[in-house]
Structure 1
Amino acid sequence: MNRRPALLAVAALTTAAALSLSACGGGDGDSKSDDKIEGAGNSETKSPSPKASKDAIERPEIKLPKGVKNVFEGTETGDPKKDAVLADHKRVINSVDEAITVKARKHPALKFYSKGDALTSAATYIQSFYDAGVTWTGETRYYDHAVTFLKDGAAAVTYCGDETKSYSKNRKTGAVKKTPGDSDDYVSYNTRMEKNSKGVWQATMVTSEEGAKKCQP
């Protein structure tokens, strides 16, 4: 596998899942508190001002660092409802990767676009990078998107991820570990999205399968 750090022990996963998830913090500093997912964080630290989007929803800005790129294929279907789901789904992915790759006290987009089990699993995933002392760089490709609207008003988004061109990067030294891609770098995902009162589609549950044959070339 290229970008994903080693899986944490069950006890560590349980601890991370129990943390308050109002924000994600961390970075390259020496303080241990800077390497943990924060709750309220420093009350004196102000979050970036949200920006209005085309749909008039004020959204927190998401910026990935230089060298980190997510490529989304087939996310404009021509169906306005499906395209709205996919637009916020892209922001879900980018918000998680921003929390992994950008040193900041808070990452407001993380909780803006994820909640419930999806937020808990995202926090665990992000924390695994900090605990391993790594981030990632390169390009991750997402493709074969499909949106299915469910009877309860939610939407299911299925898609594939190709991580063969994204690599683990040491947080302190900046050294990039480039390894040949393998079958585990092709991942199948299924995300449940629910629309909140603001009109934002949020991820509420995510399942994945590494090495999915349907996602491999």
Structure 2
Amino acid sequence: MNHLARLASAAVLTASTVLSLTACGGSGAGRADGRIVGADEGRGGSEGASPSADGAAGRPEITLPHTFQANFEGWANSDPKLQTILNDGKERLRAGYAAIIASDPQDSALKFYSTGATLKSGPAWVRTYKGLTLKGSVRISKPQVHVSNEGFGVLFYCVDEARGYTRNLKTDKVEGTPDGDDPKVQYRTRLDKNAQGVWQTSTMQTDRGGCDR
């Protein structure tokens, strides 16, 4: 089994609010052709350390080793509010990767960017990687972001795991995506803004193969 693929199963939260996110009224960020205004204005890279660490809000700095890269493409938006949601959603994913590599289900950065149900599902996901580490790279692209009529953030994106692997810390065995499995996974997340202005991920659902549907 490809353990990296469990990233798309162990963290799943089946929540009606997430399933209906695309039907929520937005902030005017959508376009008729399905793209998000401003989403193609910049191209995020693979940073070892957090680009959005913010001392004023207490945002932690997250560092990934050179042996595993998370490459973000198109993660820029002309709306500052939507950009903050993109930044915090990005850091939540990076915190999860860092927690797996550190074998720390109680990683403080992962907790910082989580709220509600993900405070439990995040550590549970990390624990499924016990005895493993990550290597290679993943590509995170096609972000879609808006703010619902109720005020929570909605962020969808795609993770391509084709070049991402797990390595067994005892045997050094490396596993990737099994033949026949789609390496692309769509993430559907809801984020809620806390008192410090941080958009914390509260629900998460994943759909393997959903990026191309």
Partner in structure 1 of residue 110 of structure 2: 110
The 8 Å contact of residues 73 and 144 in structure 1, kept in 2 or not, is answered as yes
2:5 is equivalent to residue 4 of structure 1: yes
Q: Which range moved further: 169-178 or 81-90?
A: 169-178
Q: Which amino acid aligns with 1:125?
A: W
1:169-184 equivalences under 5 Å are 169-178=167-176, 182-184=180-182
Deviation track 1:80-132 (CA, whole Å, cap 9, x = no partner) reads 111110001111001111110124595210110012112222222111111xx
2:4–2:177 contact (8 Å) kept in structure 1: no
Using the alignment, how far apart are the partners of 1:128 and 1:117 within structure 2? 17
* TM-score of the aligned structures, taking structure 2 as reference length: 0.71
Matched, 1:66 2:99: no
CA contact (8 A) 1:147 1:155 kept: yes
C-alpha root-mean-square deviation of aligned residues, in Å? 2.5
SS at match of 1:4: helix
Assess if the C-alpha contact under 8 Å between 2:105 and 2:122 holds in 1. Answer: no
Structure with the higher fraction of residues in helix conformation: 1
Letter of the 1:202 counterpart: Q
Q: Using CA pairs under 8 Å that are at least 6 residues apart, name the structure with larger relative contact order, 1 or 2.
A: 2
Which residue number corresponds to residue 156 of structure 1?
154
Aligned partner letter, 1:91: E
Q: Which residue of 2 aligns with 1:204?
A: 202
Structure 1 gaps of 5+ residues are: 9-51
1-structure distance, mates of 2:168, 2:54: 37
Q: What is the TM-score when the length of structure 1 is the normalising length?
A: 0.70
Partner SS state of residue 83, structure 1: helix
Once the two structures are superposed, residues 119-157 of structure 1 have per-residue CA deviations (whole angstroms, 9 ceiling, x without a partner) of: 222222111111xx2222111111110112111211110
Look up the match of 1:142.
140
User: Greater shift after overlay, 206-215 or 177-186?
Assistant: 177-186
Amino acid at match of 1:128: T
Q: Does the CA-based 8 Å contact 1:193-1:201 persist in structure 2?
A: yes
CA–CA distance in structure 2, aligned partners of residues 203 and 107 of structure 1? 15
Contact 2:152 2:191 in 1 (8 A): yes
Within 2, Cα distance between the matches of 1:55 and 1:82?
20
Query: Sequence identity, in percent?
Result: 33
Give the 3 Å change call, closer, same or farther, for CA 5–183 of structure 1 in structure 2: closer
User: Residue in 1 aligned with 2:79?
Assistant: 79
Verify: 1:89 aligned to 2:89, yes or no: yes
Deviations, residues 155-175 of structure 1 (Å, cap 9, x unaligned): 110111100000111122434
